[in-house]
Amino acid sequence: MQKRTFLKLSTFGMASFAFTGSSVGSEAKSSISTTMPTVNMDVEPISVIERKRRIENAQRYMEEHDIDAIVLDAGASMDYFTGIQWWRSERLTGVVIPRSGDIAVVCPFFEEPSIRESLKLGDDVRVWQEHESPFELVKQILRDRGIQKGQIGFETSVRYFIVDGIMSLLPNMTHTNAEPVILGCRMYKSPQELTLIHKANEVTLAAYQYVFSKLKLGMSQQDVKQLMNNAQSQLGGRNAWCLALFNDASAYPHGTKQPQVIKPGSVVLLDSGCSVHGYQSDISRTLVYGEATKKQRAVWNTVREGQRIAFETAKVGVPAGKVDDAVRTFYEKQGYGPLYQLPGLSHRTGHGIGMEGHESVNFVKGETTLLNKGMCLSNEPGIYIPGEFGVRLEDCLYMGDKKAHWFTEPPESLDEPLGRLVPLSL
């Protein structure tokens, strides 16, 4: 079954995706376009020059925090600085960034050709055989750069066997948290990073346009999840993902194992994203398939107002936690909460986003980090009513010189539930 006039979509671009009518229905006009939109994917990845600047920036932070070197495990930070895209296993593949001098890479001998494929800068790649210790190579790299005492920094996500293996060979060194260095670099996005996040959000919003035109009675959560993932992939996104939550499952922020299908009056909550050259999108939309009840509309409108309050509160110089406080103050006046109690908002108002879907800093109670230019965060103050339904609207924003700017602007009503892509303000 198709949808009636409500699902008449505008063309994709800077204008909003418009739905007309009052609900998602089962009778459609033949003029409704259900073809896949297009997204211009002519966007450049992060350049070698920018990666060199990142390393220089990290070295300045290391000087400031008296850290002599940092060791990176496989993951987003390794990719951020070097371009190496690798996975974590029992075999160490790591990067050493000294306070001064060139970086170095440690990897298994048999992985070197693959590592060099994605390595964007530096040529000091040291390999270890299966019977050898990779930690000895780290020790030698440090010695070659004149580092035999002082502090070595590790991200909090670095696995214990790596920290223990390295530190056991460095009796004159102590280990410390490298987060001031890593966050000092990664938390503030460059214009090119903002461009890539914007493009990823463009892909996801275009996929929503297509998927909304394909929703039918009887579709399962898995059906819609697959449709959304395929659409994002076809539009040029990578690593597409989707949460599809229907009916009372929408009252659980990450769903339940109970099977659900679309039926008349179903609340359909979708949370989805993808990556473009390593940078993430994250958009949530909630609609009703059929005629929305008065309560569904009221909750949807309350969540949309919560998003507006969060967006208006997010100003440069404001502690990130104050954004969460402002939303909860409003929700409590509407009878939700208090705090994380249900019915209400059971999670933080938003999270940082960049190369990872969730990264620092967050819109969460007690967060004292001041918002500043270049920070990117989600804005998703959902309301969840156990046993009934939930509503989550999520759009990502970035901090400009003084205030927040949308990557995608939220929809204005349940009858026009898609929203629009907003041009970057760089």
More confident site: 133 or 258: 133
Predicted pLDDT at 33: 52
Inform me whether the pLDDT recorded for 3 exceeds 90.
no
For 259-304, write each residue's pLDDT tens digit: 999 999 999 999 999 999 999 999 999 999 999 999 999 999 999 9
Quickly tell me which residue has 């919003």 as its tokens. Answer: 205
How far is it, in rounded angstroms, from Cα 80 to Cα 277? 11
Distances (CA, A) of 378 to 144, 155, 382, 417: 43, 23, 12, 18
Inform me whether the pLDDT recorded for 1 exceeds 90.
no
For 394-406, write each residue's pLDDT tens digit: 999 999 999 999 9
Percent of the chain with pLDDT over 90: 91
Predicted pLDDT at 34: 75
CB 70 within 8 A of CB 152: yes
SS3 per-residue string spanning 169-185: CCCCEEEEECHHHHHHH
Predicted pLDDT at 162: 98
- Cβ burial of 125 (10 Å; 0-12, 13-18, 19+) is middle
- Cβ burial of 60 (10 Å; 0-12, 13-18, 19+) is middle
How far is it, in rounded angstroms, from Cα 394 to Cα 409? 9
**320: enclosing H helix or E strand:** helix 320-333
Domains and CATH numbers, the chain: 48-186 (3.40.350.10), 189-421 (3.90.230.10)
* Nearest CA-CA partner of 303 in 384, 393, 386: 393
Q: Which long-range contacts (CB under 8 A, 24 or more apart) does 351-354 make?
A: 351/377, 351/378, 352/187, 352/376, 352/377, 353/197, 353/280, 353/282, 353/377, 353/378, 353/396, 354/186, 354/187, 354/189, 354/193, 354/197, 354/279, 354/280
Tell me the torsion sign for CA atoms 315, 319, 321, 322.
Answer: negative
Q: What mean pLDDT value characterizes the chain? A: 93
* Helix boundaries (H) for 145-260: 160-167, 179-186, 191-212, 221-234
CB 347 within 8 A of CB 382: yes
Predicted pLDDT at 24: 55
CB 292 within 8 A of CB 414: yes
Cα separation of the two ends of the chain: 43
Inform me whether the pLDDT recorded for 228 exceeds 90.
yes
Inform me whether the pLDDT recorded for 133 exceeds 80.
yes
Percent of the chain with pLDDT over 70: 92
For 294-345, write each residue's pLDDT tens digit: 999 999 999 999 999 999 999 999 999 999 999 999 999 999 999 999 999 9
